[in-house]
């Protein structure tokens, strides 16, 4: 019948309801009968806390007793006196060797502190099955020095399917124990360690050793683990064991530590005491005391703590007496000597060589940092600690001691101790002219060191967030002469620097290499916020919030020699990193203006040009000022991967404009470059959630050179042949850009030109094209060309761009219409005036009016003709009378024919006019011939005749 020692309890798998059964499992098959019946187990959500274990008999959590420990959700196997419960080992022959070989005894064997593998040709397997309540991990240490054994480790689930993807083969251990860690998934995990020896030369094979196996993620542990020798737990329910202090020891499962005898010693965490050896010169070290009020220091000798040697044994050395007082070394640069002979830092606006603080000259600023080259005391921002390979919570006071001209390592508890020196700095000042598209140098640290070793010692230099979170920068092995090392700091989060020295990696509790040491002579770190200065530098062009100088106002430069601030000429900007001299002022390009802080030139998106004899033309490119994208034609790599180039363009705008940006989203930390024009490579993505992956961003133009119609500006050319034009009535307006990023191929940096061409019929805003002969936008890889053909590239319309058309008069109304001149080469600006309507008079009215005026004029002319004809007849009559009266003799007056007629009397005239004549007779009289003298012959009648004629007429 089975006894309680013949079996153990385990739980079955959880069912869909989260319940399970407790069953009894025999420790050895077929040794007894009558196992307890299965009973209902605890629910699967059940677990125990730290310091507790699950009593499977009562299925309740109970506290671990004193001298034992439990971590609750993890299992640790540190005691290998026997094979722990749950581990299974067996041997078998899996190759085609001698089938008669019996491999039943070829197993892993517990050896107290570790378990050892077999050394024959059989395959020995050590396995352990564990069910994890949550994802966990496995950690173990191994010693695998012999390459004649194949050693592999792998994990399988309960269906014998491998769950790891990495190589199974373990790496050879160089000189000490190696560790291995792997993540485990939730559920069943079967762990396998397997070895097989292949000794072709017949020499002895060194077995593989395993120890300290820890599995996390379990719900409970069914037993507590005894404390290792050298540790103890004094209270019940302990989650871990505490190492014994120096000169004490403990056995396995101890609740207290015991003191060693006076003539024996023990290092921390020892399971036994050793006899004290005789003291030697390597059991003490020297250091310097702080300076006293007289400026003196003293060389002091001290025993290495904890002291393990004995001075009373024959042949032991005594501790040397303290030396005489010596003059203190000077203070480090940036510090000054106080009245108490101590060293204090200078103020922020001064510097020193270690003696007296001096003010920086005008126009300069202190070059802040830390420089340590005299070691009388450990600086305040430094600390020294010892990290024991096995017990990291030791209370060792220091590992590095000052020695005047250098700082050096003193012996530790063991030769395997890590002796660390840590320097902490708050932050760094931002570089004034740091480029946004590349990682710039924030600071640099330089130190001079030396290692004096008789063994294979190691000296490490680490940098990071803190002394517990850093990365290895460089390491040196063995003896190294005095040398200097410099490290560039490019991340503002790198604020901790650690130097670590280890004498040897060999596991030994003795001090065999106590004389091995590392020395650091000087440490210098630059550009540190809160640092001190040993010299001054000229103020940069622009200041930042961390600057300690008062720079010149914007738009000013520093005059050579005097340090006075002088104003730059109008429309210039400051380009030099140190604006000293008038050459720091750079004239802005055509049609650009300097910004408010005088660091660059901008375009307000307007442009004006005037040809000789023509009106001024004004352009407004503000509708094109937003960021616009253009892609090149697809290309393919040699393996057929399709990609294309994406260009982002920001043409112009004020200081508040949104710049064009290109992103590198391949890594977790995205890299973003910003400027006027940038380029990135776009690759289709089938892995990431986004459809495209952007990589390799570059800045093509980060500064605007100028805006002009010329095809060359400051060495940048935009040939018209790249973009032929069918019409040449309007010149293209060209924006020129340049990038200061120099590469191996483009030593002068990249540049770009954007040619704007007027096309009133194109309403597409982002109609940008690349040169037909250069599908990637560049023909030489350095200068990029773009053509932007749009209606927004036309000049603003003015009154000269339209004409008027006047319609005919219709019913007294006349319309004036305005139309654009064709072909039209303008856009926006002035709009067409609306049609104008006015009153008018028709042609019928003017015809009637003209006829009426003609008739009136004809009547007046006839009337005037008649009037003057009558007057002429009277004159002719008078003249004829005069001629008749004179008888034809000149100079004789005619004889009076009748009574005198006074001048002005016209009796006969009236009589002649009253004579009744026919119309025909009158006309006939008008047509008579004139005499030879030119006068008309008019017969004159006498009065008697006239009377006779009248009588005849009456008759």
pLDDT value for 95: 54
C-alpha span between 902 and 954 (Å, rounded): 30
Percent with pLDDT over 70 in the chain? 81
Give the lowest-confidence range in 419-433, 502-516, 780-794, 879-893: 879-893
Above 80 in pLDDT, residue 707? Answer: yes
Rounded (10°) CA dihedral 224, 228, 231, 233: 10
> Residue 394 corresponds to which tokens in the numbers above?
């030791």
Listed in sequence order, the residues at least 6 apart from 23 whose beta carbon sits closer than 8 Å to its beta carbon are 9, 10, 11, 12, 38
C-alpha span between 732 and 711 (Å, rounded): 9
Task: Tell me, yes or no, whether 246 lies in a domain.
Answer: no
As separate numbers, helices (DSSP H) first and strands (DSSP E) second, the chain gives 4, 67
- Pick 94 or 853 by higher pLDDT: 853
Residue ending a domain, among 488, 510, 534, is 534
- For residue 402, give the H/E element and its range: strand 400-402
Model confidence at 391, pLDDT cuts 50, 70, 90, reads very low
> Residue 301 corresponds to which tokens in the numbers above?
């000798």
187 in Cβ contact with 122 (< 8 Å): no
Q: Which pLDDT tens digit goes with each residue over 873-894?
A: 888 888 888 887 765 555 555 5
pLDDT value for 397: 59
C-alpha span between 376 and 303 (Å, rounded): 20
C-alpha span between 27 and 88 (Å, rounded): 11
Q: Quick one: 635 and 757 in the same domain?
A: yes
Q: How far is CA 664 from the centre of its chain?
A: 9
Q: How many residues does the chain have?
A: 955
C-alpha span between 396 and 412 (Å, rounded): 9
Task: Tell me, yes or no, whether 817 lies in a domain.
Answer: yes
> Residue 667 corresponds to which tokens in the numbers above?
């890594």
Percent with pLDDT over 90 in the chain? 19
Q: Which pLDDT tens digit goes with each residue over 221-276?
A: 888 888 888 999 999 999 889 999 888 999 988 999 999 998 898 878 888 999 99
Helix (H, G, I), strand (E, B) or coil at 98: coil
Q: Which pLDDT tens digit goes with each residue over 162-182?
A: 766 556 788 888 667 888 888
Task: Tell me, yes or no, whether 862 lies in a domain.
Answer: no
Listed in sequence order, the residues at least 6 apart from 926 whose beta carbon sits closer than 8 Å to its beta carbon are none
Above 50 in pLDDT, residue 920? Answer: no
- The DSSP call for residue 437 is T
Q: Quick one: 120 and 32 in the same domain?
A: no
pLDDT value for 109: 92
Question: What is the residue whose two structure tokens read 């605890």?
Answer: 42
pLDDT value for 449: 96
pLDDT value for 202: 53
Region label for 864, one of left (φ > 0), alpha (ψ between -120 and 50) or beta (otherwise) = alpha
Beta-ladder partners of 259: 248
Q: How far is CA 791 from the centre of its chain?
A: 35
What CATH number did the domain enclosing 429 receive?
Answer: 2.60.120.430
What CATH number did the domain enclosing 186 receive?
Answer: 2.60.120.200
Q: Quick one: 540 and 530 in the same domain?
A: no
Buried-exposed string 335-361: b where 16+ CB fall within 10 A, e elsewhere: bbbeeebbbebbeebbbbbbeebeebe
Q: Quick one: 763 and 824 in the same domain?
A: no
Residue ending a domain, among 816, 849, 882, is 849
- The DSSP call for residue 239 is S
Strand 565-567 to 248-249 pairing: unpaired
Strand 258-259 to 248-249 pairing: antiparallel
Q: Which pLDDT tens digit goes with each residue over 33-79?
A: 888 888 888 777 777 888 888 888 888 888 999 999 888 778 888 88
Peptide bond into 823 cis (omega under 30): yes
Helix (H, G, I), strand (E, B) or coil at 909: helix
Q: What is the residue-wise DSSP string for 640-704? A: --EEEEEEEE-----TT---EEEEE-SSSS-EEEEESEEEEEEEE-SSSSSSEEEEEEEEEESEE
Q: How many domains does the structure of the chain reveal?
A: 7
Task: Tell me, yes or no, whether 258 lies in a domain.
Answer: no
pLDDT value for 199: 57
Task: Tell me, yes or no, whether 637 lies in a domain.
Answer: yes
Model confidence at 681, pLDDT cuts 50, 70, 90, reads confident
pLDDT value for 166: 57
> Residue 729 corresponds to which tokens in the numbers above?
């009535």
pLDDT value for 889: 53
- The DSSP call for residue 83 is P
> Residue 328 corresponds to which tokens in the numbers above?
């203190």
Q: Quick one: 318 and 388 in the same domain?
A: no
Task: Tell me, yes or no, whether 551 lies in a domain.
Answer: yes
- CB atoms near residue 391 (< 10 Å): 17
C-alpha span between 513 and 659 (Å, rounded): 62
Strand 751-758 to 783-790 pairing: parallel
C-alpha span between 755 and 720 (Å, rounded): 9
Give the lowest-confidence range in 318-332, 371-385, 394-408, 929-943: 929-943
Above 70 in pLDDT, residue 298? Answer: yes
Q: Which pLDDT tens digit goes with each residue over 612-621?
A: 777 788 999 9
Question: What is the residue whose two structure tokens read 């101590």?
Answer: 342
pLDDT value for 555: 81
pLDDT value for 411: 77
Above 50 in pLDDT, residue 128? Answer: yes
> Residue 682 corresponds to which tokens in the numbers above?
């776009």
Q: Which pLDDT tens digit goes with each residue over 729-780?
A: 788 999 999 988 777 778 888 999 999 998 888 876 667 889 888 878 888 8
Quick one: which of 296, 279, 277, 297 has its CA closest to 288?
297
54 in Cβ contact with 43 (< 8 Å): no
Mean pLDDT in residue range 629-636: 86
Quote the radius of gyration of the chain (alpha carbons, Å): 59
Region label for 426, one of left (φ > 0), alpha (ψ between -120 and 50) or beta (otherwise) = alpha
Above 70 in pLDDT, residue 444? Answer: yes
Quick one: which of 953, 883, 894, 891 has its CA closest to 918?
953
Beta-ladder partners of 805: 817
pLDDT value for 11: 80
pLDDT value for 218: 83
Q: Quick one: 499 and 541 in the same domain?
A: no
- CB atoms near residue 559 (< 10 Å): 15
Q: Quick one: 34 and 108 in the same domain?
A: no
> Residue 284 corresponds to which tokens in the numbers above?
């003490």
Above 60 in pLDDT, residue 144? Answer: yes
Q: Quick one: 770 and 824 in the same domain?
A: no
Give the lowest-confidence range in 58-72, 476-490, 531-545, 593-607: 531-545
Above 80 in pLDDT, residue 531? Answer: yes
Is 622 exposed, middle or buried (CB count within 10 Å of its CB: 0-12, 13-18, 19+)?
middle
Task: Tell me, yes or no, whether 917 lies in a domain.
Answer: no
pLDDT value for 638: 65
- CB atoms near residue 169 (< 10 Å): 11
Mean pLDDT in residue range 123-133: 88
C-alpha span between 449 and 485 (Å, rounded): 8
* Alpha helices (H) in 431-559, listed in sequence order: none
pLDDT value for 163: 62
For the chain, give the mean pLDDT: 80
Is 856 exposed, middle or buried (CB count within 10 Å of its CB: 0-12, 13-18, 19+)?
exposed
Q: Quick one: 835 and 689 in the same domain?
A: no
Mean pLDDT in residue range 795-818: 85
Q: Quick one: 809 and 775 in the same domain?
A: no
- Pick 38 or 468 by higher pLDDT: 38
> Residue 448 corresponds to which tokens in the numbers above?
């001079």
C-alpha span between 778 and 770 (Å, rounded): 8
- Single pTM value for the model: 0.43
| 869 backbone dihedrals φ, ψ, rounded to 5° | -65, -40
Strand 296-303 to 284-288 pairing: antiparallel
Above 60 in pLDDT, residue 527? Answer: yes
- Pick 608 or 511 by higher pLDDT: 608
Give the lowest-confidence range in 93-97, 240-244, 842-846, 862-866: 93-97
Buried-exposed string 701-712: b where 16+ CB fall within 10 A, e elsewhere: bbbbbbbbbebe
Question: What is the residue whose two structure tokens read 């002022």?
Answer: 585
| 875 backbone dihedrals φ, ψ, rounded to 5° | -65, -40
pLDDT value for 930: 47
Above 80 in pLDDT, residue 819? Answer: yes
Q: Quick one: 395 and 483 in the same domain?
A: yes
- Pick 388 or 545 by higher pLDDT: 388
Residue ending a domain, among 729, 764, 793, is 793
Q: Quick one: 709 and 643 in the same domain?
A: yes
pLDDT value for 677: 93
Q: Which domain holds residue 101?
A: 76-166+177-218
Helix (H, G, I), strand (E, B) or coil at 353: coil
Task: Tell me, yes or no, whether 52 lies in a domain.
Answer: no
C-alpha span between 90 and 88 (Å, rounded): 7
């Amino acid at each position: 019948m089975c006894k309680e020692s013949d079996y153990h309890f385990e739980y079955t798998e959880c069912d869909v309801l989260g319940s399970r059964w407790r069953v009894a499992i025999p420790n050895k098959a077929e040794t007894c009968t009558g196992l307890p019946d299965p009973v209902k187990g605890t629910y699967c959500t059940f677990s125990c806390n730290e310091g507790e274990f699950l009593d499977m008999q009562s299925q309740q959590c109970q506290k671990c007793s004193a001298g034992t420990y439990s971590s609750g959700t993890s299992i640790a196997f540190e005691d290998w006196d026997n094979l722990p419960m749950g581990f299974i080992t067996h041997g078998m022959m899996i190759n085609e060797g001698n089938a008669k070989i019996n491999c039943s005894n070829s197993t892993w064997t517990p050896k107290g502190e570790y378990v050892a593998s077999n050394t024959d040709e059989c395959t020995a397997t050590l396995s352990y099955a564990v069910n994890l309540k949550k994802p966990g991990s496995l950690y173990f240490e191994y010693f695998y020095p012999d390459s004649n054994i194949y050693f592999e480790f792998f994990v399988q689930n309960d269906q014998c399917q491998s769950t790891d993807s990495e190589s199974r083969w373990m790496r050879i251990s160089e000189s000490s124990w190696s560790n291995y860690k792997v993540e485990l998934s939730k559920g069943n995990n079967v762990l396998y360690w397997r070895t097989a020896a292949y000794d072709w030369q017949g020499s002895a094979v060194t077995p593989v050793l395993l120890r300290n196996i820890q599995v996390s993620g379990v719900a409970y542990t069914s037993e507590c683990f005894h404390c290792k020798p050298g540790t103890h737990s004094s209270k019940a329910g302990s989650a871990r064991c505490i190492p014994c202090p120096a000169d004490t020891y403990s056995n396995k499962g101890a609740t207290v530590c015991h003191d060693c005898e006076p003539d024996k010693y023990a290092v921390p965490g020892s399971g036994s005491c050793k006899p004290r050896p005789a003291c030697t010169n390597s059991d003490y070290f020297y250091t310097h005391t702080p300076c006293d009020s007289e400026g003196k220091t003293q060389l002091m000798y001290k025993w290495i703590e904890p002291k393990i040697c004995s001075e009373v044994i024959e042949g032991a050395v005594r501790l040397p007496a303290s030396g005489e007082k010596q003059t203190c070394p000077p203070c480090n640069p940036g510090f000054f000597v106080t009245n108490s002979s101590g060293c204090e830092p200078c103020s922020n606006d001064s510097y020193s060589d270690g003696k007296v603080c001096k003010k920086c000259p005008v126009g300069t600023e202190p070059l802040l940092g830390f420089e340590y080259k005299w070691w009388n005391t450990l600086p305040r921002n430094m600390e020294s600690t010892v990290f024991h390979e096995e017990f990291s919570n030791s209370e060792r006071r220091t590992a590095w001691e000052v020695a005047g001209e250098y700082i050096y390592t003193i012996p530790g508890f063991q030769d395997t101790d890590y002796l660390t020196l840590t320097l902490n700095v708050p932050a760094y000042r931002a570089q004034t002219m740091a480029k946004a598209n590349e990682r710039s140098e924030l600071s640099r640290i330089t130190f001079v060191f030396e290692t004096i070793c008789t063994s294979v010692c190691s000296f490490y230099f680490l940098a990071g967030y803190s002394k517990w979170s850093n990365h290895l920068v460089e390491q040196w092995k063995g003896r190294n002469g005095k040398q200097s090392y410099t490290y560039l700091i490019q991340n503002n989060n790198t604020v901790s620097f650690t130097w670590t020295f280890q004498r040897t990696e060999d596991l030994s509790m003795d001090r065999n290499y106590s004389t091995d040491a590392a020395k650091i002579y000087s440490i210098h770190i630059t550009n540190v916020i809160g640092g001190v200065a040993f010299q001054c530098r000229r103020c940069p062009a622009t200041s930042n919030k961390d600057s300690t100088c008062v720079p010149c106002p914007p738009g000013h430069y520093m005059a050579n020699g005097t340090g006075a601030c002088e104003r730059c000429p109008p429309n210039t900007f400051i380009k030099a990193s140190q604006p000293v001299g008038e050459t720091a002022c750079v004239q802005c390009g055509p049609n650009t203006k300097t910004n408010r802080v005088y660091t660059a030139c901008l375009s307000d998106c307007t442009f004006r040009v005037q040809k000789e004899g023509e009106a001024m033309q004004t352009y407004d490119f503000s509708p094109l000022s937003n960021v616009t994208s253009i892609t090149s034609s697809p290309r393919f790599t040699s393996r057929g991967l399709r990609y294309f180039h994406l260009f982002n363009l920001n043409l112009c705008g004020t200081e508040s404009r949104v710049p064009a940006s290109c992103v590198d989203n391949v890594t977790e930390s995205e890299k973003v470059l910003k400027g006027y024009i940038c380029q990135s490579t776009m690759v289709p993505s089938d892995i990431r959630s986004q459809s495209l992956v952007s990589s390799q961003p570059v800045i093509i133009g980060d500064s605007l050179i100028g805006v002009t119609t010329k095809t060359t500006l400051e060495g940048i050319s935009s040939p018209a042949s790249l973009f032929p034009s069918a019409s040449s009535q309007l010149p293209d307006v060209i924006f020129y850009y340049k990038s200061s990023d120099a590469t191996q191929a483009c030593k002068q940096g990249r540049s770009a030109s954007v040619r704007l061409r007027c096309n009133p019929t194109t309403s597409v805003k982002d109609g940008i094209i690349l040169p037909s002969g250069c599908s990637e936008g560049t023909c030489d890889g350095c200068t990029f060309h773009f053509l932007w053909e749009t209606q927004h590239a036309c000049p603003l319309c003015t009154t000269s761009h339209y004409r008027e058309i006047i319609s005919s008069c219709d019913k007294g109304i006349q319309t004036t219409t305005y139309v654009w001149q064709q072909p039209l080469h303008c856009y926006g600006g002035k709009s067409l005036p609306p049609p104008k309507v006015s009153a008018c008079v028709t042609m019928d009215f003017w015809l009637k009016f003209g006829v009426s005026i003609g008739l009136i004029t004809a009547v007046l002319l006839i009337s005037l003709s008649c009037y003057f004809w009558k007057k002429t007849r009277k004159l002719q009559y008078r003249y004829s009378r005069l001629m008749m009266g004179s008888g034809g003799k000149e100079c004789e007056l005619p004889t009076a024919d009748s009574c005198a007629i006074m001048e002005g009397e016209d009796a006969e005239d009236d009589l002649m006019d009253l004579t009744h004549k026919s119309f025909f007779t009158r006309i006939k009289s008008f047509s008579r011939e004139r005499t030879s003298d030119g006068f008309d012959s008019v017969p004159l009648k006498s009065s008697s005749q006239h009377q006779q004629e009248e009588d005849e007429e009456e008759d």
